[in-house]
Amino acid sequence: MQTVDLAKSTLRELNHALHNIKGGSNETAWEVVNPKGSHSVAVGVDAPVTVDVRGSVGYYCGGMNSEATITVHGSVGPGVGENMMSGAIFVKGDASQYAGATGRGGLLVIEGNASSRCGISMKGIDIVVHGNIGHMSAFMAQSGNLVVLGDAGDALGDSIYEARLFVRGTVKSLGADCIEKEMRPEHVDLLSGLLDKAGVTGVKPEEFKRYGSARTLYNFNIDNADAY
């Protein structure tokens, strides 16, 4: 395992080393110690490596991730996994706002709570939050899945497109054009697989409600003008 101590090395040195991993390299396991809230830790990794961050980090950890499995043994600031393409990010603590924003693929798992705008404009990412999420989550979410074991704040799924939202707890309010939808067998199967990948046990897919687009804002209609 390659260990990088951010009390002795710079963040630029860490990310430069991760970006320079070549195909066939045996440097596939990395450990980052003393992050002390550093921003942009392990951003832009483009290799099938594992990165264990021992402590909490600042904003944009794991942004643009491709193929790597990143585990943060602490909490994360805004924008964890922003625009990630593939791979997986596991957060053992809480996440600040816009976790997984614009994510195009991969899996983001938050074992604590997530703040506002979780999954904003998601474009294919799968997000599983063990706790609660804040207001305006999944705003303009285009595709992918957001799974919440706890509660959701105001305006869930505002102006949503075709993403699927699964919430086990209560939803404070739904945003414009977001409605509760039927949980069909294919959704139960999909949710079961996501819960397994996220390491969730003792929870049944049938305990969740599904939310998605009513598709009334896809084309302009004067009767819906107040919702635009």
Mean per-residue pLDDT for 30-49? Answer: 96
Question: What is the pLDDT confidence band of residue 228, given thresholds at 50, 70 and 90?
Answer: low
The reported pLDDT for the residue numbered 217 is 78
Strand boundaries in 82-208, DSSP class E: 88-91, 107-110, 123-129, 143-148, 164-167, 178-181
DSSP for residue 192: H
Alpha helices in the chain (DSSP H): 11-19, 185-197
**Could you tell me the CA-to-CA distances from 162 to 27, 81, 141, 145, 193 in Å, in that order?**
39, 20, 7, 9, 19
Q: For residue 174, is pLDDT > 80?
A: yes
* Confidence at residue 26, expressed as pLDDT on a 0 to 100 scale: 82
- The DSSP 8-state label assigned to residue 16 in this structure reads H
Region 62-81: what's the mean pLDDT?
A: 98
- Would you tell me how many other CB atoms lie within 10 Å of the CB of residue 151? 17
Q: Indicate whether 27 pLDDT > 90.
A: no
Q: Where are the domains of the chain?
A: 2-200
pLDDT, residue 22, reads 78
Integer CA distances (angstroms), 27 to 67, 85, 91, 169, in order: 14, 21, 23, 42
| Calpha distance 110→131 (Å, rounded) | 8
> What are the Cα distances from residue 192, in Å, to 84, 177, 201, 207?
23, 26, 10, 11
**What φ, ψ does residue 190 adopt, rounded to 5°?**
-60, -50
**220 pLDDT band (50/70/90 cuts)?**
low
Q: Cβ distance 169 to 118 under 8 Å?
A: no
Q: How far apart are CA 135 and CA 171, in angstroms?
A: 10
Rounded to an integer, the average pLDDT of 153-161 is 97
Q: pTM for the full model? A: 0.95
**pLDDT for 118:** 98
| Residue carrying the six token digits 């816009």 | 98
141, 133 Cβ separation under 8 angstroms: no
What pLDDT, in 10s, does the model give residues 78-104?
A: 999 999 999 999 999 999 999 999 999
Sign of torsion over alpha carbons 200, 202, 205, 209: negative
